[in-house]
Structures are given as structure tokens and as C-alpha cells.
Amino acid sequence: MDFLAKKTDIAGSATIQLLDRVKELKRAGHEVISLSAGEPDFVTPEHIRTYAKRALDEGYTFYSDSAGLIELREAIAEKLRRDNGIEADSKNGVVVTVGGKEAIYAAMMATIDLGDEVIVPDPCWVSYVPCILLAGGQPVYLPTDLSSNFRISAERLEETITRRTKMLVINTPNNPTGSVIHRDELEAIADLAKRKEFLVLSDELYEKIIFDSTEHVSIGSLPGMEDFTVTVNGFSKAYAMTGWRLGYLAAPPPIAERVVTIHGHMVTGACTFAQRAIALAMRDDLTEKTVDEMVAEYSKRRDLVVDELGKITGVNCTKPQGTFYAFPNISHYGLRSADFALKLLDEAKVAVVPGDSFGSMGEGYVRLSFATSRDNLTTAFNRMRHVISEIHN
């Protein structure tokens, strides 16, 4: 007898599977350079680790409120007001989650009914569509491409909306493309959301990893959007805290209340001493200083990657405005993205993520993470050039 639920018959994360393959090759003795992981290579800043040790010594080892420590929710509300222009109710409108991924999943579970349509940009981060399907929704793809630097067109969006549209997912800065949605584009999207009455889930996990004085705008800060927006963020990327599993969302209180119920049944609450540590860190000026230092290094790596890609015949890549990803087009070589990535892994021992992992519009691209040292990047490109030159010939 088959006891498996049909609703969970979904593909695993391509990025996690690739990371597992890299680990296998390393265990077998191969010197693999991974440009696949969506994870900072920096260790969590020392002062945050110190706060966590102190929290353990102070006895923060019991359950917190399911919604999160109130001191952390207050710090998050202050941050949202100061940095994003979002007025969030720290008591009833902010929920601390086990990473940003749980915030996204719980928000969808709280708002999506069977058959509701959720519009997602294509290409997009690998977990949005599985979360939509698990919540009972129907993903509707909104194609984006290199001609607009993968940003959402309000005109194309309006053509995609139906009477069953419940939610639009936006991600800015964007994984995998590194693009940032401009203010005027967000204003057009906001006008549509209010007029057509659908919810916007805004994933802003990379908001602090942004380059060249590019402006990050939170759609939840725009006039009238407080009732139409769920803002998701976290600490994994900007603060190099992936293993701590702390994220959060800000939402209208009725949605946040439902999220707390779902979140409570799933995980009870997030790790208490980690919450205490980040609550202290958010009010410590040293935290933003360390973020600025990491982003400055990412910017140098971004420039190195773009420069190296520009030296390879047939590769086309726009300069990422944010995140630590580049998304070059490699269709010139006549290989599918998966075959191109496999060739680099097998022959150059360099891991990249095939673009079609992020949707059909990602075919012909690969995602390179520059969350690794400049020495590693230089070595990786030296290896890749040799393999790619053989394809070109």
C-alpha cells in the first residue's frame, strides 16, 4: 500500500541537492569549488556569538512566546519603521519564525485556500512553488527576462491576474538574478494590488546586500499597502546566520494571528537564546558596521565575477544590483543549463546551479554565488575557462 500523500509529491530543492553532491565529491577527495550555495562564507560576527553565549548563561533555554520574544519583536518593529518605512504592530503583527523559509510557508498556509492562484515571477527562488503547492494553491508564472533585467512589468502582471488571484510573490533584491525592483515599478504593482485586491508577499531577505547606491524599497511602505502586504525578512544572509534559523514576517494582525497558530503547531517557536542574541544585536551599532564590511567585500567579488564573465566569449551577464549571485546567460554554447552545470562540475570541479532550477525562463542560464573568497573565484574561473573553451571549439 502506498501511504505517501500526493500533495507532497514535489521535487526537492535543486540547490540543496547540488550542495549534497558537492559534499560527496569532497568526501571522495576531489577539490571542488562551490559557487552554488546560497550561504555567506563569513562566520556570524563575534559580538552576536557572544550575545548568544551570554543568553545561554542567563537561562534563555525555555520556550519563548510562540510569536517570538517580545523584545525581539519590538526590535524588529523598530527596524521596519526606521529602515523600511513600515509601521508594524510588534505585539500582534510581527512573528519570529524558524528562518525566512518558514515565514513564507506559514504565510501561504494562513492565506491560500485550495485552488487560489499565486503569481510568481519566472525565474524565481526554488522554494516558492513547492510552498504554494503544499498550501493548496495554484502557481501562475509571470515570465521575466534579461531585456528588463528580470524585473516585473505591471502590464504583464495585469494580464496574468484573474478572479482567482489571491497573492503575488515578489523578491527584491532577487534570487537568482540579482535584480532590484525600482520604486516606480513597485508603485504600479501596489496600485494593481489595491485595485484588484490581492495580497503581496514581499521577500526582502537580501535587502542589506545591495550595491552602487541602489535603492531598496519595501512595497509595504507604500500608501495603502499596509493591509495588502506580508513582508518577510530574516538574519541568515545579511548577518551571516544561516545555521541559526531565524526569520520573521510583518503582516496585518488577522494574518499574523493565523500565522502564529500554524507556526505554533509546526515548531512551537524559534530558538530562544538565538532570539535573545539577535534582539541585542539589532540594537548594537557594531552589527550594521559588520554588515557594511561584508557587503563591501561582496561588492568587490561581484565586480571580479562580472569582469571574469565579460572575458568569456558568448556569455552575457548583467551586473547584479543586489544579493551575492550572478545569473549569466550561457545559451550560446548550445547546452541545456543542467548539462552545462554538470560539465563544469565533472570536468572543472566547479559547482554552479542550472538556471532551469528556478523556472522555465531560467533555461539557458546558470547561477553563480560569489559568497566565497576572491581567491576561490579566481581559481574557479581559471578552471571554467578551460572547459568552456573546449565547448566553444
Write down the CATH number for the domain with range 46-284. Answer: 3.40.640.10
Residue 252 preceded by cis peptide, ω within 30: no
In which residue are the cell numbers 554588515 written?
291
Note the pLDDT of residue 58: 97
The Cα–Cα gap between 337 and 330 comes to: 8
End-to-end Cα distance, the chain: 53
Task: Flag whether pLDDT at 17 surpasses 80.
Answer: no
Q: Which of 3.90.1150.10, 3.30.565.10, 3.40.50.10190, 3.90.1170.50 would CATH assign to domain 6-44+287-392?
A: 3.90.1150.10
Q: Residue 266 carries which side chain, given as an amino acid letter? A: M
Give the tens place of pLDDT for each residue, 149-185.
999 989 999 999 999 999 999 999 999 999 999 999 9
Report the distance separating Cα 239 and Cα 288, nearest Å: 9
At 24-34, the pLDDT tens digits run 877 887 788 99
Extract long-range pairs of 51-54: CB within 8 Å, 24+ residues apart.
51/276, 51/277, 51/278, 51/280, 51/281, 52/273, 52/274, 52/276, 52/277, 54/277
Q: Check if the beta carbon of residue 292 is closer than 8 Å to that of residue 333.
A: no
Per-residue model confidence as pLDDT tens digits over 296-351: 999 999 999 999 999 998 899 999 999 999 999 999 999 999 999 989 998 999 99
Higher pLDDT, 66 or 25: 66
Q: What's the pTM value of the predicted model, to 2 decimals?
A: 0.94
The answer, yes or no, to whether residue 3 has pLDDT greater than 60, is no
The predicted-structure confidence for 194-232, as pLDDT tens digits, reads as follows 999 999 999 999 999 999 999 999 999 999 999 999 999
Query: Which residues, other chains included, contact 174 with Cβ-Cβ below 8 Å and sequence gap of 6+?
Result: 121, 124, 150, 180, 181, 206, 322, 323
Q: Give residue 2's pLDDT band: very low, low, confident or very high (50, 70, 90).
A: low
pLDDT of 364 above 70 = yes
Confidence of residue 12 (pLDDT cuts 50, 70, 90): low
pLDDT of res. 391 = 78
pLDDT of 37 reads 83
Question: What does the pLDDT look like over 108-165, one tens digit per residue?
Answer: 999 999 999 999 999 999 999 999 999 999 999 999 999 889 999 899 999 999 999 9
Predicted confidence (pLDDT) per residue in 74-114, tens digit? 999 999 999 999 999 999 999 999 999 999 999 999 999 99
pLDDT band of 186, cuts 50, 70, 90: very high
- The residue extents of the domains of the chain are 6-44+287-392, 46-284
Dump strand ranges (E) for the chain: 33-34, 94-97, 117-122, 138-143, 165-171, 199-203, 229-234, 247-250, 325-326, 350-351, 353-354, 366-369
How far is residue 77's CA from residue 176's CA, in Å, rounded to a whole number? Answer: 28
What pLDDT sits at residue 31?
Answer: 87
